[in-house]
Amino acid sequence: MKLFIDTANLDEIREIASWGVLAGVTTNPSLVAREGGDFIQRVVEICEIVRGPVSAEVLAQDVDGMVREGRLLADLSEHVVVKAPLTEAGIAATAQLASEGIKVNVTLCFQAAQALLAAKAGAAYISPFVGRVDDVSWDGNELISQIVDVYAADPEITTEVLAASIRHPMHLVQAALAGAHVATVPYAVLKKAIKHPLTDSGNTAFLKDWEKVPAEERDIATAVARWRASRG
């Protein structure tokens, strides 16, 4: 499963990209508004950092407007994936954009039937919202499983399942187990996913034991140089 980060914050993107695990970025109007600044410039800057799929959402609500905005966004960078809502207009716009070779991430998916329609329209990605489905007392990752099964039953479907609305590390693990191709994860959840108290305590214990080694032997570079010198 590929990992995207769900943010428009450049510092967060740079930090997670430095880990070597980041494959892409998703944004939405709320995330961009939170950061302020020029929307188009922000999308271009994100594409320069990640060099992978970057979802940028259209704001129009009619087919012609979505297609027009989608073309403009896609022209910003080869990495831009146009993001469109799962509405009647959004599906029609997705079909038009996909026919032109423009990748579309269809967002706000809450049932497998919607996901099937998006795939048939040519969506590159479908974004089911795991956390929001949980909020209405259904299992968000069961939705992921259903969509994965529906897509697997049709060899013509190439749409990737992109698990969104990931609220905590277990959502991330469950999405992977459910067969999601991608998960887009907030910065705070990625930071939590890498942390564990036993990792921290174990590392502290290792370092404490290492202090028992003679000081002249503790520096790895010095120790390697000495070893190489001893071998002539």
Which of 101, 148, 153 has its CA nearest to residue 128?
A: 148
Predicted local distance difference test score (pLDDT) of residue 150: 98
Predicted local distance difference test score (pLDDT) of residue 33: 86
Rounded to 5, what percent of the chain is helix, strand, coil?
55, 15, 30
Residue 209 pLDDT level (bands cut at 50, 70, 90): confident
Cα separation of 185 and 37, whole Å?
23
Pairing outcome for strands 125-128 and 24-26: unpaired
pLDDT in tens, 62-77: 999 999 999 999 999 9
Pairing outcome for strands 104-109 and 125-128: parallel
Average pLDDT of the chain, as a whole number: 94
Predicted local distance difference test score (pLDDT) of residue 227: 86
* φ, ψ at 109 (rounded to 5°): -95, 130
pLDDT in tens, 152-203: 999 999 999 999 999 999 999 999 999 999 999 999 999 999 999 999 999 8
Question: In this structure, what token pair is assigned to residue 135?
Answer: 């909020």
Stretch (H or E) spanning 147: helix 140-152
Burial class of residue 45 in the structure, from the number of CB atoms within 10 Å of its CB (0-12 exposed, 13-18 middle, 19+ buried): middle
Which of 102, 77, 72, 108 has its CA nearest to residue 90?
A: 108
Residue 215, pLDDT above cutoff 80? no
Which of 99, 92, 46 has its CA nearest to residue 73?
A: 46
Q: Which position has the token pair 């950092």?
A: 49
Q: Which position has the token pair 């277990």?
A: 170
Contacts of residue 140, defined as CB under 8 A and 6 or more positions apart, other chains included, come to 128, 129, 130, 131, 132, 133, 134, 165, 171
Domains along the sequence of the chain with CATH? 2-193 (3.20.20.70), 197-230 (no CATH)
pLDDT in tens, 102-135: 999 999 999 999 999 999 999 999 999 999 998 9
Cα end-to-end distance, the chain, whole Å: 47
Provide the annotated active-site residues. 83
Question: In this structure, what token pair is assigned to residue 2?
Answer: 């590929």
104 strand-pairing partners:
82
pLDDT in tens, 28-54: 888 988 988 889 999 999 999 998 999
